[in-house]
């Protein structure tokens, strides 16, 4: 098989994502008062409504509607005041009602977008000659599972910002979101005695209805993504936004956030869409990237050998890096979708929508821009710190306590503390380091009292003892001489002892400075700051 970059020389990959997110921060299910829990005994959290008993009447969970409206506002969607629930019929034991309650052509949230900033290595996946206007090359058409047209209102706002823009180290591109609708999860089935936990050949199938009726939101993108890396970054960004607004714990691992990847190929320059396949089991960011990469290469091979891509659902196997067919595509007609007569249409008030907006808080992009502007951070660092609300507030508290500026705090957090948290299984919330300790450490690094290599040792000791960075540095004799007069004395002593190297430097061999710094460090038993020695040597030698 060809590699991704070989394939993308001749073909354009077109990718759209469908992302399901469980509203894990809610207390109760979508249409009944049953508890939402992952720990309770099987079938403990059930009632006539979620078991689909005759005559039971559903009542929508207002908090769930708040959550989806917030998700829509945070992704620049138009909030539809008037929408309703539909029944999507199918027969399977995981849904006792024999239909899933979902939404029809009009979802609570329509036509939003997320802007991606792609830097460095990942940006290289997109060929240099890729078209700048994705909206034109992927006309929004009749392509949602709910029978809607999904026609995109190209308002002035959207029309002005639809283009890919190249930056110094990559590019930015807006990705349109077609819709975010509300639906409910099905029960969990466990098949015993068969191969690989599949129903085929199983001796027994167990059903746990605790999960049945869990509120889910499904976000569907337009087919605007062009590389596996863009798909991965879209998912990462969406996760950050949903975490920031507090609607879910967004765990790909546990499945509270799941993503299906739709992908097709077309010849470069072609504007109609090719036949797509849909990938399942993309339950990590790596699988999302690698599954799409594999599938793009597989489709290219099929097409180049004169075959056709079948519209089918495929399962990604990360261990073997391949996708296998699960089922051939069913169509929307198969589901007999119609309005649910038990649930009145919605008529959301402006007050309700505004109260949701008021609860949004600062979104990751706004936070990144603020960190960049007020603390003078590098954009990528500001983005990394703004990515997680707990990390961002840890950073802000530490920056407020630091005497020598926020840049050093950011560096210490990103380069030292994150690694230590990872190794200890901690994070900003459960950290055994306090923001004040980190501020103290950052100050010592900023003033040159310790070098960054020593910061790791100090951070580990701080976590263990609870002491301040200063106390540890002094107790361990790590403090480096920062007084220029004392350092200058060492420099003069070394230059007097090494006249040959000094002459070499003056005649243009500036590499010899490394040797001279080493001699200075030796002369002071490692208590001087090498960076400052370097500067003082250069000054003395010119
Ligand atoms: P389905 O009915 O199979 O679920 P939809 O039309 O609802 O398909 O689209 C699902 C996702 O697939 C959306 O994100 C959409 O942008 C994307 N998509 C649709 N057609 C294509 C295509 N030809 N190539 C790639 N992605 C596509
Ligand atoms: Zn219930
Ligand atoms: Mg689909």
Q: pLDDT truncated to tens, each residue of the chain (542 aa)?
A: 999 999 999 999 999 999 999 999 999 999 999 999 888 999 999 999 999 999 999 999 999 999 999 999 999 999 999 999 999 998 889 999 999 999 999 999 999 999 999 988 899 999 988 888 887 777 654 344 344 444 444 444 444 467 899 988 899 999 999 999 999 999 999 988 877 677 778 888 999 999 999 999 999 999 999 999 999 999 999 999 999 999 999 999 999 999 999 999 999 989 899 999 999 989 999 999 999 999 999 999 999 999 999 999 999 988 888 888 887 766 666 788 999 999 999 999 999 999 999 999 999 999 999 999 999 999 999 999 999 889 999 999 999 999 999 999 999 999 999 999 999 999 999 999 999 999 999 999 988 888 777 899 999 999 999 999 999 998 888 887 778 888 899 999 999 999 999 999 999 999 999 999 999 988 887 778 888 899 999 999 98
Q: Are residues 387 and 271 located together in one domain of the fold?
A: no
* CATH number of residue 499's parent domain: 1.10.10.410
E-strand spans in 365-453? none
Strands 277-280 and 312-317: parallel
Measured by CA distance, the residue closest to atom 25 of ligand 1 is 263
Measured by CA distance, the residue closest to atom 24 of ligand 1 is 264
Cα(212) to ligand 2 centroid in Å equals 8
Q: Is 312 in the pocket of ligand 1 (CB under 6 A)?
A: no
Q: Are residues 446 and 488 located together in one domain of the fold?
A: no
pTM tops 0.95: no
Ligand in closest contact with the CA of 187:
2
Residue with tokens 């009726």, as numbered in its chain: 213
Ligand in closest contact with the CA of 280:
3
Q: Are residues 341 and 399 located together in one domain of the fold?
A: no
Q: Is 220 in the pocket of ligand 1 (CB under 6 A)?
A: yes
Cα distance between residue 280 and residue 260, in whole Å: 5
For the beta carbon of residue 528, count every other beta carbon within 10 angstroms: 24
Q: Are residues 122 and 212 located together in one domain of the fold?
A: yes
| Final residue belonging to a domain, choices 358, 382, 403 | 358
Q: Is 261 in the pocket of ligand 1 (CB under 6 A)?
A: no
Residue 139's pLDDT is 62
Residue 329's pLDDT is 65
Angle in degrees, 0-180, between the axes of helices 513-523 and 499-506, rounded to the nearest 10: 150
Cα(33) to ligand 2 centroid in Å equals 6
CA 360 vs CA 299, 340, 520: distances in Å? 41, 30, 55
Q: Which residues contact 189 (CB under 8 A, 6 or more apart)?
A: 93, 94, 199, 205, 206, 207, 208
Measured by CA distance, the residue closest to atom 22 of ligand 1 is 276
Q: Is 273 in the pocket of ligand 1 (CB under 6 A)?
A: yes
Ligand in closest contact with the CA of 148:
1
Cα distance between residue 416 and residue 455, in whole Å: 7
Residue with tokens 């979902």, as numbered in its chain: 102
For the beta carbon of residue 426, count every other beta carbon within 10 angstroms: 15
CA 402 vs CA 34, 412, 416, 469, 498: distances in Å? 48, 12, 16, 12, 40
Q: Is 73 in the pocket of ligand 1 (CB under 6 A)?
A: no
Spatial contact of 116 and 237, defined as CB atoms under 8 Å apart: yes
| Final residue belonging to a domain, choices 323, 340, 358 | 358
Looking from the CA of residue 264, the nearest atom of ligand 1 is 24
Q: Which residues contact 401 (CB under 8 A, 6 or more apart)?
A: 435, 436, 439, 440
Q: Are residues 180 and 221 located together in one domain of the fold?
A: yes
Q: Are residues 227 and 282 located together in one domain of the fold?
A: yes
Q: Which residues contact 62 (CB under 8 A, 6 or more apart)?
A: none
* Phi, psi (deg, nearest 5) at residue 234: -60, -50
Looking from the CA of residue 16, the nearest atom of ligand 1 is 14
Q: Are residues 277 and 329 located together in one domain of the fold?
A: yes
Tell me the CB-side half-sphere exposure of residue 266, using CA atoms within 13 A: 16
Spatial contact of 21 and 257, defined as CB atoms under 8 Å apart: yes
Spatial contact of 15 and 292, defined as CB atoms under 8 Å apart: yes
Q: With residue 366 as reference, give the H or E element that holds it.
A: helix 364-375
Q: Are residues 433 and 489 located together in one domain of the fold?
A: no
Q: Is 253 exposed, middle or buried (0-12, 13-18, 19+ CB in 10 A)?
A: exposed
E-strand spans in 38-94? 78-79, 85-89
Cα(443) to ligand 2 centroid in Å equals 55
Measured by CA distance, the residue closest to atom 3 of ligand 1 is 145
Spatial contact of 67 and 23, defined as CB atoms under 8 Å apart: yes
Coil, strand or helix: which one is 38? coil
Q: Are residues 354 and 370 located together in one domain of the fold?
A: no
Provide the 8-state DSSP code for 205: E
Q: Is 223 in the pocket of ligand 1 (CB under 6 A)?
A: yes
Q: Are residues 268 and 339 located together in one domain of the fold?
A: yes
Q: Is 241 exposed, middle or buried (0-12, 13-18, 19+ CB in 10 A)?
A: buried
Ligand in closest contact with the CA of 312:
1
Q: Which of 234, 276, 326, 328 to mutate to test the pocket of ligand 1 (most atoms within 8 A of CB)?
A: 276
Q: Are residues 429 and 488 located together in one domain of the fold?
A: no
Q: Is 222 in the pocket of ligand 1 (CB under 6 A)?
A: yes
Q: Of 331, 238, 317, 249, nearest to 18 (Cα)? A: 238
Domain tally, the chain: 3
Residue 2 tokens read as 């060809």
Cα distance between residue 141 and residue 123, in whole Å: 28
Cα distance between residue 533 and residue 482, in whole Å: 10
Spatial contact of 221 and 234, defined as CB atoms under 8 Å apart: yes
With residues binned 3-state (H G I as helix, E B as strand, rest as coil), the percentages for the chain, rounded to 5, are 40, 20, 40
Q: Is 224 in the pocket of ligand 1 (CB under 6 A)?
A: no
| Final residue belonging to a domain, choices 475, 498, 526 | 475
Spatial contact of 234 and 227, defined as CB atoms under 8 Å apart: no
Cα distance between residue 173 and residue 176, in whole Å: 10
Cα distance between residue 180 and residue 363, in whole Å: 18
Q: Is 150 in the pocket of ligand 1 (CB under 6 A)?
A: no
Q: Is 264 in the pocket of ligand 1 (CB under 6 A)?
A: yes
Q: Any idea of the CA torsion for 514, 520, 523, 524, to the nearest 10 degrees?
A: -120
Q: Which of 16, 146, 299 to mutate to test the pocket of ligand 1 (most atoms within 8 A of CB)?
A: 16
Cα(14) to ligand 1 centroid in Å equals 10
Residue 50 tokens read as 């979620």
Residue 278's pLDDT is 95
Q: Is 107 in the pocket of ligand 1 (CB under 6 A)?
A: no
Spatial contact of 237 and 173, defined as CB atoms under 8 Å apart: no
- The range of the structural domain enclosing residue 446 comes to 364-475
Cα(300) to ligand 1 centroid in Å equals 18
Q: Are residues 344 and 276 located together in one domain of the fold?
A: yes
């Amino acid at each position: 098989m060809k590699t991704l970059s070989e394939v993308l020389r001749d073909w354009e990959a077109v990718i759209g994502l469908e992302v399901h997110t469980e509203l894990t921060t809610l207390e109760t299910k979508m249409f009944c008062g049953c508890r939402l829990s992952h720990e309770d005994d099987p079938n403990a959290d059930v009632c006539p409504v979620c078991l689909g008993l005759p005559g039971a009447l559903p009542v929508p969970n207002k908090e769930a509607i708040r959550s989806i409206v917030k998700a829509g506002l945070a992704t620049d969607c138009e909030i539809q005041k008037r929408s309703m629930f539909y029944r999507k019929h199918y027969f399977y034991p995981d849904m006792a009602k024999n239909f899933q309650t979902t939404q029809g052509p009009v979802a609570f949230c329509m036509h939003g977008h997320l802007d991606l900033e792609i830097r460095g290595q990942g940006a290289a996946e997109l060929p240099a000659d890729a078209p700048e206007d994705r909206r034109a090359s992927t006309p929004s058409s009749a392509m949602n599972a709910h029978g809607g047209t999904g026609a995109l209102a190209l308002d002035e706002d959207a029309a002005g910002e639809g283009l890919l823009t190249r930056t110094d180290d990559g590019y930015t591109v807006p990705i349109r979101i077609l819709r975010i609708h509300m639906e409910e999860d099905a029960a969990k089935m466990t098949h015993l005695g068969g191969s690989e936990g599949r129903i085929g050949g199983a001796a027994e199938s167990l059903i746990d209805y605790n999960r049945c009726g869990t509120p889910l939101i499904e976000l569907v993108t337009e087919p605007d993504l062009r590389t596996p890396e863009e798909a991965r970054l879209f998912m990462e960004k969406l996760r950050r936004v949903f975490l920031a607004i507090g609607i879910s714990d967004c765990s790909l691992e546990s499945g509270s956030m799941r993503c299906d990847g739709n992908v097709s190929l077309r010849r470069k320059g072609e504007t109609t869409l090719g036949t797509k396949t849909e990938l399942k089991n993309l339950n990590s960011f790596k699988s999302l990237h690698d599954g799409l990469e594999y599938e793009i290469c597989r489709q290219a091979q099929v097409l180049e050998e004169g075959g056709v891509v079948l519209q089918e659902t495929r399962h990604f196997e990360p261990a073997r890096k391949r996708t296998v067919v699960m089922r051939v595509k069913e169509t929307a007609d198969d589901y007999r979708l119609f309005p649910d007569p038990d649930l009145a249409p919605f008529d959301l008030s402006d007050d309700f929508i505004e109260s949701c907006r008021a609860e949004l808080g600062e979104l990751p992009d706004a936070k990144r821009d603020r960190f960049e502007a007020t603390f003078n951070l590098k954009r990528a660092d500001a983005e990394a710190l703004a990515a997680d609300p707990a990390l961002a507030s840890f950073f802000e508290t530490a920056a407020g306590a630091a005497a020598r500026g926020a840049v050093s705090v950011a560096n210490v957090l990103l380069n030292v503390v994150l690694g230590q948290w990872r190794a200890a299984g901690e994070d900003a919330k459960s950290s055994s380091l306090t923001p004040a300790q980190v501020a103290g450490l950052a100050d010592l690094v900023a003033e040159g009292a310790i070098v960054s290599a020593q910061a790791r040792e100090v951070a580990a000791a701080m976590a263990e003892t609870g002491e301040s960075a200063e106390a540890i540095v002094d107790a361990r004799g790590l403090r480096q001489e920062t007084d220029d007069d004392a350092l200058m004395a060492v420099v003069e002593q070394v230059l007097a002892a090494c006249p040959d190297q000094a002459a070499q430097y003056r005649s243009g061999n500036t590499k010899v400075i490394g040797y001279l710094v080493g001699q200075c460090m030796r002369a002071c038993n490692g208590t001087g700051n090498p960076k400052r020695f370097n500067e003082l040597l250069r000054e003395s030698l010119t």
